[in-house]
Amino acid sequence: MATENALYIILIEKIKQDALVLPTLPKIALKVREAADDPDANLNAMSDIISQDPALSLGILKVANNAIMGRSVKVETVNQAVTRIGLRQIKSIATAMALEQVFISDNDIISMYLKKSWDKTIEIASVAIALMTFYKAENKHSSLALDTLTLAALIHNVGVLPILTEAENHPDVFANPTFLQQAIVKLSSPIGAEVTKAWGFSDDFTSIVRDWSDLTVLPKEADYLDFVRAGAIKKGIFKSESTCSVLLKSYVDKGVMPDVGFMDTPEFDEMVGNVKAMFS
């Protein structure tokens, strides 16, 4: 395409026509989610499913033995790991672990963009999860769930996948990587919302993916959006210092964090490191 806005036009038209090619969730994630939703599901059956995938098995063991689980005794089998984590959290965590498989491409340029996107996602998610870990310790009766946030934070930028897939079909777009980044900023959230619908995720996930970057959506009470946005602030996604300052103050007012400088403390950095270790 010769015009600079060609990719943008293509994407908008495909969204309107419901013709955008959306990524599929890895099969192992689908199996785990189906098993978790089965009323007759049990921990042994879940362990058998996870054991079929070596990478996922390793990931689940790392989660179960991570410091944020608060256990000193190391688990050594998938069955022990699943028992420690529990069926409810396994559904979200296993899905999150499998997501990395979606961020791959045979095209070198696309692969570079996908790696950068996934690395940034891990950074933001690690901050969000760490912050909620502290929040839950002080607000044990909160309805917000750590497993829900974990998955939400790891899919918040999933809309980049269809954008990069479409760009791959139009190599001339790569002549202007700045524009490609602009297309990602403008369209990844609404497209990501469509991905969550295609994957059969609940409306809660769709709302988080659609709204996290829309700062006109401001929940009055502590919300999953706050934690994802806090991660984005920490990683410099929002460029306006005044906007970040207002957001941080609102998080203190809502009890999401104890003070505006909390995310710069050694204690918080240590927790972020522990969380990040689960995904590396």
Residue 261 has pLDDT above 70, yes or no: yes
pLDDT band, very low/low/confident/very high, at 243 (cuts 50, 70, 90): very high
Q: What is the pLDDT of residue 2?
A: 47
pLDDT band, very low/low/confident/very high, at 228 (cuts 50, 70, 90): very high
The CATH number, out of the four listed (3.40.980.10, 3.30.450.20, 2.40.50.140, 1.10.3210.10), of the domain defined by the range 6-24+104-279:
1.10.3210.10
Q: What is the pLDDT of residue 33?
A: 87
**pTM reported for the whole predicted model:** 0.86
Q: Which sequence spans correspond to the domains of the chain?
A: 6-24+104-279
One-letter amino acid of 143 = S
User: Tens of pLDDT along 29-87?
Assistant: 888 888 888 888 788 888 999 999 888 888 888 888 876 666 667 888 999 888 888 87
User: Tens of pLDDT along 138-156?
Assistant: 999 999 998 889 889 999 9
Residue 4 has pLDDT above 80, yes or no: no
**DSSP string computed for 181-195:** HHHHHHHHHHHHHHH
Query: Which of 237-246's residues contact partners 24+ apart within 8 Å by CB, and which partners?
Result: 237/124, 237/213, 243/215
